[in-house]
Structure formats: structure tokens, C-alpha cells
Amino acid sequence: MQRLLAAAFLALLLASPLPVLAQNAQPDAARPEAALIRVVLQTSEGAITLALDPVRAPITTANFLKYVDSKKLDGITFYRAMKFSAGEGLIQGGARGDPARLFPPIAHEPTSQTGISHTAGVISMARYAPGSATSDFFITASPMPSLDANPSGEGDNAGFAAFGHVVEGMDVVQRILDAPTSPTEGEGVMKGQMLEPKIAIVAARRAN
């Protein structure tokens, strides 16, 4: 399972496409802030406050809120830190396939449809094939346009489903990115990216 996710990430990173906006999508600077829904992830390293976009990414946002409201994210972990140069990369968390915590997979909402690019601090869904995302998600610590959809590319070019951004707690994201990793845990390109110890998500709640 981890090998498939790693392969999807690697293929998209090598492709490095530019973000594509749908005709009716709003650029990030024009998003209606009043429509955003705030969620706080209380982690063992501090709080991360997210602003989710139910207007541009309704399916993905509703899925994440379903996990929040059912408290199925309480007690999970950030388990992966994909690091590049200093301060660059992403952190990944989720239930890691625990059947007791999972809801059915959701339809894929590509960045070419939503207009939400993988800039620094964006939250997005981890997946295998498009339409397989459940609970696992990642937060970018730096701009990663290679994770955006690339309809003109080849292979798995659907990108990942971004659906919000960090409004408070990027210092916590950076601490998690910089946390120690196991030199042996993980398969393929994920070897050396698995956090040890894992960073607990104590609770996830709507801010309002």
C-alpha cells in the first residue's frame, strides 16, 4: 500500500506540471474567506488551524469534516515527513488503513477543477488511484506545483485533491517536518521518511 502511494508521489514530482485552473475556478487570492470552515488539529507539537474550502472542493471538504465530526481523527498520527532542502517538503497523517476508522473512498476533485494549487501550507488528500482517498492527508511546507493536476501530461496526471490551507501553525508543520525519522522504516522511496516517534493528533475539532 505504501509502495503505491510513494510511486504516485514520485511520478508527479518528476513531471513538475504547472497548475491549471478551471474556467469557473477562483484563484487563491480571490477565495471567499467567509465561506471557509476552520478546523484545529491539536497535535503533540502544538495546534495547526486549517481553513477548508467547501465552495471549491465540496466533496473533499465534506469528507474531511465527516472524519472530524465523528472524532475518527482523534488519536491518529502524522507518520511521514517527506523532506527536500531545509524547510521544504510535506508531512502526512491519517488512519493508515485502519478499517475501524475509515469511511468509503470519495470522488477525486483535481486542482484543475478546484483551482486550489499546492502552495505552501495547503492540505490535500493522499491517495492511490484517483477516487481512492479516505482518511490520509498531507500538508505542504513549501510550494509543490508538481502535485497539481496536469491534464496534458502522461500517466497518472490527475494530481492530488487540495481542499484548504493552514492559517495558523506553520511553525508546528515545520517542527513536524524537521522531526526525527527512522533510517530503516518505510518501503522504496519512502524509506527514511517515516517519523520516529510518530507525532500524535490528539484531537481534531471545528474551530467554531
pLDDT tens, residue by residue, 135-157: 999 999 999 999 999 876 555 68
Q: For 2-16+32-206, which CATH class? A: mainly beta
Q: Do the beta carbons of residue 103 and residue 134 sit within 8 Å?
A: yes
| pLDDT number for residue 136 | 98
Q: Could you report the per-residue pLDDT of 153-181, keeping only the tens digit for each?
A: 555 689 999 999 999 999 999 999 999 99
CB atoms within 10 A of CB 151: 11
Q: Which amino acid is at 121?
A: G
Domain ranges in the chain are 2-16+32-206
Asked if 125 and 137 touch (Cβ cutoff 8 Å), the reply is yes
* pLDDT for residue 141: 98
CA distances from 132 to 53, 106, 137, 145, 160 (A): 20, 6, 12, 21, 11
Q: What is the pLDDT of residue 6?
A: 41
Give pLDDT, residue 75.
97
Q: What's the predicted TM-score (pTM) here?
A: 0.84
Q: If the chain, 208 residues long, is cut into consecutive pieces of 10 residues, what is the mean pLDDT of each piece?
A: 41 34 39 84 98 98 98 98 90 96 97 97 96 98 95 74 98 97 88 96 94
Q: What is the pLDDT of residue 121?
A: 98
Pairing, β 194-206 against β 162-168: unpaired
Nearest 10 degrees: Cα torsion 10, 14, 15, 18: 100
Which pLDDT does position 85 carry in this prediction? Answer: 81
Quote the pLDDT of residue 11: 37
pLDDT of residue 32: 59
How many whole angstroms separate alpha carbon 175 and alpha carbon 180?
10
